[in-house]
Amino acid sequence: MPQTKSLNGSDIAFIYTGIGRGHPYYLDGIIEQIDKLYPYISYYQTDAFSLSKGLSLITWQIVKYLYRFGAKGGIVTRFYSMLRQKSVAGGIQAGMLGLDIKKFFSGYPKPVVVAHPILAAILSKQNRVIYQHGEPAAPVESFIPGCYRILVPVKETALAFENAGISSDCLEITGQCIENNLVYSVKAAYKKRIKRIKSTRHLTVALFSSGAYPPVHIQKLLLAGKSLFTEGHSVTLFMGTSEKAFDTACYFYKKNDLPVSHTIDDTAAITIIHTDNRLEENRLVASIFEKLDFCIAPSHERTNWAVGLGLPLFILCPHIGSYAPLNAAIALKKGVALEIPDNKSAAGIAGTIDTLRKNGELIAMAARGYNHTAINGFSNAVEIVYGMVRNFG
C-alpha cells in the first residue's frame, strides 16, 4: 500500500517545499526506505506549490525566485536569508506562505514529515510534525519549537538545538543521511579508491552545482573540469535539472575544443549530464560512485560523502546561504575537504590534486572520512517514522 492520492486514506504525509535539492533530498531518502522496508504503509506526498493558491502561491513563487537569484549574491541573498529567518520565527511571511498549507492539513491526526524549517514552523503548532534536519550544520533558522520529533544526524547537531532551547525529549540522532545505494557499497568503493589514488593511473571526479546554480560556482566547475580533463583525469559534470547550466557547460568546453559526451563513464570526453529530476541524477551517480576518487561541490548535502564515505571534497566558494559555511567548517575541521576559493584555484586544481596525491594527503583525506561516523541515517529515520505510524495508526 504505497503512495496514495488521498490524505485521509494515508498513514503518514510528506510535504516538500518544491525548491532546490538539499532539503528535498532528505525526504527522498526516507520515502525510498519506506517503500523498501514497509511497503504496506500508505503515505501521501505533496509540496507547497501544489497546495497553495492566490496570495500564498505568489509568496512561494517569490521565495523560489529569491532562492535562485539570491545565489548570485549581494542584496538579494541578504533579503532571502532575512525572509527565511523571519519566516521560521513565525512572522508575517510564514503566515502568507502557510495559509493554504495549514488549512489543508487541519485536523489531520497522523504524522507529517518535513525537511525544511519554514514548513516545520508552519505546521508544528497544529500537526504532529516530524522535522528531518538532515544537515550536520544548524543555522539559527533551523531551531523550530513545537515539533513532535526532530531528526538530526549527529550529537553535535542535537547539542546545537538544545542550546537554542529545543527540548532534548523531541530530538532523535539518526546518523548521517546518505543515499542508501551508496551506503550499501561504501566499503568496496573506499578500498578501490585508495588503490587508485596510490597508483599512477588517472583519477575519476564528479562535479556538482547546488540546485540554485550560482554563476560563481558554475564558472569554477567549468574551469576545474577543464584543468582535470586536460591532465588526463576522467571528468563528469552533473548539471542537475537546469537546461541553462547544461547548455553553458556544453558551450564552454566546445569553445575550448574539448570533446563533450553525455554518456556516463565516457573517459574519452568530458561527460556533461542533465537530468529531469533528482531521483534520476541519484541513480546515475550511484552507477559510477565506486569509480569516484574525489568530488567538487558546494558544502551542502554532499558534504556527507566526505565526512561519512571517505570521498575527498573540494568545496566551491564563496559559501552561499546559511548552511554552507557551517558544513564547510565541519568538513575542514575533520580534514576531509579543501576549499576552492577563486577561479585561479579552480583552473589549477589538477596541479593541486597531483601534489596532494604525491604527498599522501589525498589518501589521508579519504581515510579521515571513512568509518568514523554512523551513516545509516535514513534507515534509522524510517524506524522512528514507523514507530510513530504505529502509535497514531
Residue 65 has a CB neighbour count (10 Å cut-off) of 13
pTM (2 decimals)? 0.91
Four-CA torsion 383, 20, 344, 197, nearest 10 degrees:
30
Signed CA dihedral, 244, 209, 225, 277: sign only: negative
d(CA 88, CA 85): 5
Q: Which three cell numbers stand for residue 49?
A: 506549490
d(CA 362, CA 324): 22
170: DSSP letter? G
pLDDT value, residue 87: 46
- The fraction of the chain above a pLDDT of 90, given in percent, is 74
Residue whose C-alpha cell is 575537504: 337
Q: Which three cell numbers stand for residue 47?
A: 509540496
pLDDT value, residue 304: 95
pLDDT value, residue 2: 80
Q: What are 135-160's pLDDT values in tens digits?
A: 999 998 899 999 999 999 999 999 99
Q: Which three cell numbers stand for residue 15?
A: 510535504
Residue 110 identity: K
Residue whose C-alpha cell is 597508483: 199
pLDDT value, residue 75: 42
Residue 354 has a CB neighbour count (10 Å cut-off) of 14
Q: Which three cell numbers stand for residue 379?
A: 534507515
Contacts of 230 (CB under 8 A, 6+ apart): 258, 350
Q: Helix and strand tally (H, E) in the chain?
A: 18, 13
Whether the CB-CB separation of 349 and 340 falls below 8 Å is answered with yes
The CA–CA distances, whole Å, from 107 to 6, 49, 122, 130 equal: 14, 21, 14, 16
Domain 12-175+376-391 has CATH 3.30.450: no
Q: What are 117-127's pLDDT values in tens digits?
A: 989 999 999 99
Contacts of 390 (CB under 8 A, 6+ apart): none
Q: Tell me whether the CATH fold assigned to 12-175+376-391 matches the one assigned to 180-368.
A: yes
> Which CATH homologous superfamily contains domain 180-368?
Glycogen Phosphorylase B; (3.40.50.2000)
Q: What are 171-180's pLDDT values in tens digits?
A: 999 999 999 8
pLDDT value, residue 213: 87
Domain ranges of the chain: 12-175+376-391, 180-368
**Residue spans of alpha helices (H) in the chain:** 22-37, 48-51, 54-70, 75-88, 92-105, 117-123, 155-163, 180-184, 186-198, 215-230, 243-255, 278-288, 303-308, 323-334, 343-347, 349-358, 361-368, 377-391
Enumerate long-range contacts of 311-315, CB under 8 Å, 24 or more apart. Answer: 311/189, 311/193, 311/366, 311/369, 312/336, 312/337, 312/338, 312/362, 312/365, 312/366, 312/369, 313/337, 313/338, 314/224, 314/338, 314/339, 314/340, 314/349, 315/339, 315/340
Instruction: Please identify every stretch of the chain with a pLDDT value under 70, giving residue numbers as ranges.
Output: 1, 22, 67-94, 393
